[in-house]
Amino acid sequence: MAETSQIEWTDATWNPVTGCTLVSEGCRNCYAAELAATRLKNHPSREGLARKNADGVAKFTGEIRVNRDWLYQPMGWRKPRRIFVCAHSDLFHEGVPDEVIDKVFAVMALTPHHTYQVLTKRPERMRDYLLAENRDCDVAEAARHIDPKRAGKVLEGFGNSEEPSLINKTWPLPNVWLGVSIEDQATADTRIPYLLKTPAAVRFLSAEPLLGPVDLTAVPYGVPVDGVPSYQDAMSGKIWMPGGTVPWATNVRATANGRTNVDLCGFVSWVIVGGESGRKARPMHPDWVRSIRDQCEAAAVAFFFKQWGGWSTVFDRDVEDPDWGHCSEIKRRTPKGRWLNLEGGHGFHGERVVRVDRRGKKASGRLLDGVLHDGMPDLGGAS
């Protein structure tokens, strides 16, 4: 819990819940588990929540802890700020009761001067929670229980079934951004569809640690038409099919770049990208980052490059040595480095081979092709 944060894309962190469990490769070297197993292991909010395995890697035990002393803390912060919710857990973990989530959303509703950033690797539950019947009423009731006076001022009409127009104005909460963490194409394809069906003032993605190339414009939609698969472009909010595969669509819809748009879907307004840091960090290929940057630019989506992480690209073979005449010298100069290709392999051969070297987070920095990317979403309303 901190009124300030060193995380580049937020101002503060709020941890009403701590503890988690691993769900995918992006969790392997979790910084929150590392802290809970080391520096914070005796803190009441972390004690017993994580331990190191035989390989010295910190892992959460699966226990979830509700930190009731911290539950209402943002209500005491007068200065408006961006707040990362559950930075050391997952608010939508299966071990967190709906009643606790209601209280967290109630606090967010009671503090409209703050902007809340909620990230999850469990987007199916997040979608189900936000779409549940009378969820806004449950949150409003929790808010009135927490602070009746403040609730009366900021929640006028909120959760009032007799005034549906007022519900529509206040749910989803305009100061709550909902996001999903991804690390590669597989997690993007699995998690993004749930996010796009979740009502939110702002939807966003965090691709950190980025462990492989990701195309955010071709997320499987899962509803084949005439046996032909369709895809979601999470950047533009369009559902498309390969051009020419469905005659009726091609005849009545616009086709560009081999894609025929057939319907609309939800979209994201912000994408964060970052490399992994820490002792066991895995390297990130610069072209993975460039690709997402370019996808964002093409769709006018805000792009935030957080960090290279523990590794830095020191040599681009295709650009600096197309004849492969200096590779041995580069390898000699970087004995702790690795070759990294576009698919994530560490062999010398493959597409777009670069040399990465362990330099540490600070030395590796945040510049992408010499440019600092600190994009933030345009607060234009729910989508």
pTM: 0.93
**CA torsion, ordered 120, 122, 127, 132, to nearest 10 deg:** -110
Q: Is the pLDDT of residue 381 over 50?
A: no
Q: Is the pLDDT of residue 382 over 60?
A: no
Share of the chain above pLDDT 90, in %: 76
**157: confidence class by pLDDT, cuts 50, 70, 90:** low
Q: Is the pLDDT of residue 168 over 90?
A: no
Q: Is the pLDDT of residue 187 over 50?
A: yes
Cis peptide before 209 (omega within 30 of 0): yes
CA 152-153-158 angle, to 5 degrees, is 65
Q: How many Cα atoms sit within 13 Å of 51 on the Cβ side? A: 6
Distance CA 56, CA 60 (A): 13
**159: confidence class by pLDDT, cuts 50, 70, 90:** low
| Stretch 293-302: mean pLDDT | 98
Per the listing, tokens 């449950």 go with 138
- Of the two residues 285 and 328, the one the predictor is more confident about is 285
Residue 66, H or E segment = strand 65-66
Contact 316, 326 (CB under 8 A): no
The per-residue pLDDT for range 114-151, each reduced to its tens digit, is 999 999 999 999 999 999 999 999 999 999 999 998 88
Q: Is the pLDDT of residue 296 over 60?
A: yes
Q: Say if residue 203 is exposed, middle or buried (CB neighbours under 10 Å; 0-12, 13-18, 19+).
A: buried
Share of the chain above pLDDT 70, in %: 92
Contacts of 192 by beta carbon, 8 Å cutoff, 6+ apart: 123, 180, 182, 205, 216, 219, 232, 234, 268
